[in-house]
Copies of this chain bind each other. A is one copy, B any other.
């Protein structure tokens, strides 16, 4: 794992291009600032060491083996959100993978193939019917599927209530061969509604209570519960203590985005490691706007920062200098058409600074959504640096 001290000179694997400048890249394109990435990784690593828990990073945002290796090293334990991610990371040497979306029988053939290739795949269940089906499928495939029980800690999306008999009901449904229960997990996604370290810490404590309560009920039945997992970027970052928890999941912190910076899930805009490089294709002083070739497909239609109020609303993204990555005061994406982004200024737009053919970068509201439009990262060490590597991403299902 790279430390903060040698990151600027560490060798970069998979550099498949020479030292092109950003200005030579076809736009729109996804740019990754490696210095910011490594700083974000190091900060989270320090936090989980402080908390005394293992980090099983969620790769649903990064979707990149090159990034995963920087977090957990070769073959470390990871979390994914799709089976395609699981298959991609398995092929890249990661052999301990938690697929954190509730499993259904149709997907088990792909899981069984991964297991046959020597991969441990942890599966999510939150309903007795799903657990019964999982165990039956395991017996039919002649394998034993590893399961984690999902517990709701307040998000009200998935998971059983930790203090309900559903906990035992799911566990019991996994008995009898074909499956085994290894642990419990929760995702306090309602932390995204918080706006302060205290609020995130409070949700982290809700997560902790939920999983330790469920684990306690199961252990009281004599069951062995090895994995007690929780997490989201805001709650892991701000948790005060995680007694009884064995591992945590967080993902978007690696790249960062305007929404996470706005809610305190990450520190600030200057931590955002990912941005969209785009070219000015129109300049219209009479309308007070410039037009770039990054529209809603290049940026996504995510407007999550609107929930931050007038002060925090970033439209469809904030504009930064193409070379330095530093903010251009007041500039934001006002409208996102399919292939046109309309940029306006909250102050005064200096039209002469953005001739047709010039470039800017755009910080995303939501790194997971924006990055998903791209099959690769163009990696730069920092301001003004050339493209030192191209790292592939895995999209789709």
Contacts and interface: CB of A to CB of B under 8 A. Distances in A.
A355 interface: yes
A172 B287 CA distance: 23
Contact of A127 (B81, B126, B337, B356): B356
A396 interface: yes
A240 interface: no
A339 B105 CA distance: 17
A356 to B, nearest CB: 5
Interface stretch (A45-53, A242-250, A292-300, A382-390): A292-300
A154 to B, nearest CB: 12
Contact of A106 (B26, B110, B130): B26
B133 A356 contact: yes
A196 interface: no
Interface in A261-288: 279-284, 287
Residue from A82, A298, A300, A338 having most chain B Cβ neighbours under 10 A: A338
Report copies per complex: 2
Contacts of A337: 157, 189
Contacts of A340: 101, 157-158
B357 A106 contact: yes
Interface in A104-128: 104-107, 110, 126-127
A309 to B, nearest CB: 19
Contacts of A156: 287
Interface stretch (A35-43, A198-206, A367-375): A367-375
A225 interface: no
Interface in A127-178: 127, 129-130, 133, 156-158
A361 interface: no
Contacts of A95: none
Interface of A: 26-29, 60, 81-83, 101-107, 110, 126-127, 129-130, 133, 156-158, 189, 279-284, 287, 291, 293, 296-298, 300-303, 335, 337-340, 342, 355-357, 366, 368-369, 372-375, 395-397
The 10 closest A-B pairs by CB, nearest first: A102-B281, A301-B301, A81-B339, A104-B357, A301-B302, A130-B356, A101-B339, A158-B282, A104-B279, A105-B357
Given A101-B293, A298-B397, A301-B369, 15 more contacts: A26-B107, A27-B397, A101-B281, A102-B281, A106-B279, A127-B282, A127-B356, A157-B291, A157-B337, A157-B342, A296-B302, A300-B300, A300-B301, A372-B373, A373-B396
